[in-house]
Structure formats: C-alpha cells, structure tokens
C-alpha cells in the first residue's frame, strides 16, 4: 500500500505514531506539521519525513491526515485544512465526529480513533469509528495506520467513551494496581525496589502469557494458578470477599462519564 500520511501535531502521541509508521511494513511517505518551533523539522530529519510549512501545506497531496493536536487547538486549526481530499483521522479525545465534520471542508471524510500510551512501544490498543462519509477504503487505510503500532479494532462511535475509560485511561489504572501490589510486597518486608521489580515483571509476564495464540481465557488462567488449598487461593479468597470488582467498575464508569462530559462541551 503506497500512501502519504500527514500528521498535524507531533507531540508525545503524534511523535510515537510517526515513529511507528516509519518502521511499518508498508512504509508510507510521511509529512508533519507542528506549531512548536523546530519540532516538525527534528522529527522529519530523524524519520525521513517532510516538514510542512502550514496545516494547508501539510494536507496537500496526503492520502490521510492524522489530527494529533490537543482537542482545544482544533477549533483554530481545522479551518486551515482547506483540502477535502484526504481522509482526516482524528485522535483528539472527546471531539465527536460530527463536530469535526462541521469544521472541515464540505465533503471531507473523517475517522475518529482512541489510541493509548502503548503506541510508544508498539503495543498500543486503538479503537476507531467511521464518520458519515468514510468509505470502506478509508477504514482499511485507518486500520492499517493504527495497527502499525499495536492492535486496532473498529467500533461504533457510541462505544468510544467506554473505550476511553477502559483502554485510553486504563494504563493509569493498571499502573495503580501495579503500585498497590508493589506496596503490598514492601509491607511483607521486601525492599521497595525489589518489590517494584517483582510486581512489574509479574504483570508483564501475565499479560504476555494471556496474549499468546491459544492462551487460556482469563477465568481459566486464574483457576489454573489458584489451586485448591494453595497460596494463590488464599489470596484470591480475600479478593473475592472484597469489593474490588465494584471499585474497578466504578472507576471505569467515572472515566466514561467524564469522557462524555468533555465531548458535550
């Protein structure tokens, strides 16, 4: 697939996605614009991309333009994108597709995506949703772009607030649980650094096992580790008697509500 992909914004997320695309199998041509002095030029030099002089210059000749700026910057920048030809792939959290379509040139096609911080290590999880004019070819291109730095799944836009809570905010919640495990190890007498290393590697190993082809389901994995009368079963009994599941459900619900509130602004 020969494609030219432009990035409007090259901050943490945009830069990570650019680096992922630069190493992707289909090797698209890359263009980038960023308002921060020198940022686009530095990335262009690093990745063999082209630094554009303006948003309008960026969009010219692109098959897709990734809107990777902060949501608050979009109202000023979208009117500068005068070309309706590219697919516009937005990763701006909380900005609904209809809102973006209204501010782009007539006929512009939009796909909205919600990536997470895993894109920076090629292990991102991204959900994407089609706009009213997006074609199957547009969705194929969006999926190819987004799967270059992890996994990508197509969902209706109505699901994206839940996605924001689960996989967008989820890295912080998993890290919170990781810290709690490390703190628990330290409370048992382990040196804090050793407890942190043990907890982190255990989380990484568990995720790796569960992500492999043919891996057991999560309930089956738990059952296999928590043998009757063993140490894991003793600890699991405490979890089962607690409100841990309800706390996680309430955490995600709060994040999803906030995502909906931000989108309604």
20 is written with which tokens?
Answer: 């992922």
DSSP string, 188-227: TT--HHHHHHHHHHHHHHHHHHHHSTTPPPHHHHHHHHS-
Taking residues 250-264, report their average pLDDT: 94
Determine the pLDDT at residue 150. Answer: 95
Q: How confident is the model at residue 26 (pLDDT cuts 50, 70, 90)?
A: confident
Q: Is residue 108 scored above 60 in pLDDT?
A: yes
Determine the pLDDT at residue 1. Answer: 57
Question: Architecture of domain 4-155 in CATH?
Answer: 3-Layer(aba) Sandwich (3.40)
More confident residue, 178 or 264: 178
Above pLDDT 90, what percent of the chain? 95
What is the per-residue pLDDT across 168-227, written as a single tens digit (0 to 9) for each?
999 999 999 999 999 999 999 999 999 999 999 999 999 999 999 999 999 999 999 999
CATH number of 170-263: 1.10.3730.10
Q: Is residue 114 scored above 80 in pLDDT?
A: yes
Taking residues 228-235, report their average pLDDT: 97
Q: Helices 218-225 & 192-211, crossing angle to 10 degrees?
A: 130
Start and end residues for every CATH 1.10.3730.10 domain found in the chain: 170-263
- Helix %, strand %, coil % of the chain (to 5): 55, 15, 30
In the chain, DSSP finds a helix count (H) and a strand count (E) of 12, 8
Start and end residues for every CATH 3.40.50.720 domain found in the chain: 4-155
150 phi, psi to nearest 5 deg: 145, -150
Taking residues 224-251, report their average pLDDT: 97
What is the per-residue pLDDT across 49-99, written as a single tens digit (0 to 9) for each?
999 999 999 999 899 999 999 999 999 999 999 999 999 999 998 899 999
Determine the pLDDT at residue 118. Answer: 94
Determine the pLDDT at residue 61. Answer: 85
Q: Is residue 151 scored above 80 in pLDDT?
A: yes
Taking residues 239-244, report their average pLDDT: 97
What is the Cα–Cα distance from 258 to 261, expressed in whole angstroms? 5
Above pLDDT 70, what percent of the chain? 100
Q: Is residue 2 scored above 90 in pLDDT?
A: no
């Amino acid at each position: 697939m020969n494609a030219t992909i432009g990035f409007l914004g090259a901050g943490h997320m945009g830069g990570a996605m650019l680096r992922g695309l630069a190493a992707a199998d289909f090797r698209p041509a890359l263009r980038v614009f960023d308002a921060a002095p020198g940022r686009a030029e530095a990335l262009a030099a690093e990745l063999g991309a082209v630094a554009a002089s303006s948003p309008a210059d960026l969009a010219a000749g692109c098959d897709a333009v990734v809107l990777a700026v902060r949501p608050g910057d979009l109202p000023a920048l979208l009117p500068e994108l005068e070309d309706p030809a590219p697919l516009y792939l937005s990763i701006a959290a909380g900005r609904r597709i209809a809102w973006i379509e209204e501010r782009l040139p007539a006929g512009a096609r939009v796909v909205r995506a919600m990536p997470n911080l895993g894109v920076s290590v090629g292990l991102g999880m991204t959900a994407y949703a089609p706009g009213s004019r997006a074609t199957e070819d547009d969705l194929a291109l969006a999926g190819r772009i987004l799967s270059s730095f992890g996994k990508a799944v197509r969902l209706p836009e109505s699901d994206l607030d839940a996605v924001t809570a689960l996989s967008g905010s989820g890295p912080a919640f998993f890290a919170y649980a990781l810290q709690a495990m490390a703190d628990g190890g330290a409370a048992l007498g382990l040196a804090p650094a050793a407890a942190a290393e043990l907890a982190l590697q255990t989380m990484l190993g568990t995720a790796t096992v569960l992500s492999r082809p043919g891996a057991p389901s999560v309930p089956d994995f738990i059952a296999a580790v928590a043998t009757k009368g063993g140490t894991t079963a003793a600890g699991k009994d405490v979890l089962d008697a607690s409100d841990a599941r309800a706390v996680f459900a309430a955490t995600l619900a709060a994040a999803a509500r906030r995502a909906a509130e931000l989108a309604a602004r």
